[in-house]
Amino acid sequence: MKTLGEKIKNIRKLNKLNQTDFASAIGVSQGTLSELEKDKYKPSLETVIALKLNFDVDLDWLLLEGAVASNRGLFCVRIDDLESNLISGFRKLSLSDKQEIEGIVNLKLKRYSD
C-alpha cells in the first residue's frame, strides 16, 4: 500500500516535475513538499485542494488507504497498487509499445476465454 507521501510523490513524478516546480504549483515550499513526500506530516486542506484543482487528483485515491479509486462518470472502479503501477508505466510508453502490449493482453484474454 502506498502512503500519502508516496502518492504525492507519484503525482509529481507522473507530471514530470521537480520538487521546486511541483511545490510552487500546490502552494507550498520545496522543503514542505519534501517533508510531505517523506510522510513527516499530512498536507493541509489547502494543499489537498490544490492537488485536486491543479492535477485532477482523485481525492478518494489520495486520502483513502489500500486502494486506488477512480470516480469517473457513473462508475467507481477500485484498482490496487499493481494495477496503478502498470497504468502509470503504460502511459509512458510509445504508441507502438502500447499497441504491442495491447496485443499481448488480447492473446492472454483469448487463451482464458477458450
In this predicted model, what pLDDT tens digit does every residue of 67-90 receive, in sequence order?
A: 554 444 434 456 677 887 888 888
74 contacts: CB under 8 Å, gap ≥ 6 = none
* Segment holding 106, helix H or strand E: helix 95-113
Dihedral pair phi/psi, residue 15, rounded to 5°: -95, 5
Output the CA torsion sign for 102, 103, 104, 108: positive
Instruction: For residue 64, name the pLDDT band (cuts at 50, 70, 90).
Output: confident
Q: What is the predicted pLDDT for the residue at 20?
A: 96
Supply the mean pLDDT for the chain. Answer: 85
Q: Which amino acid belongs to residue 86?
A: L
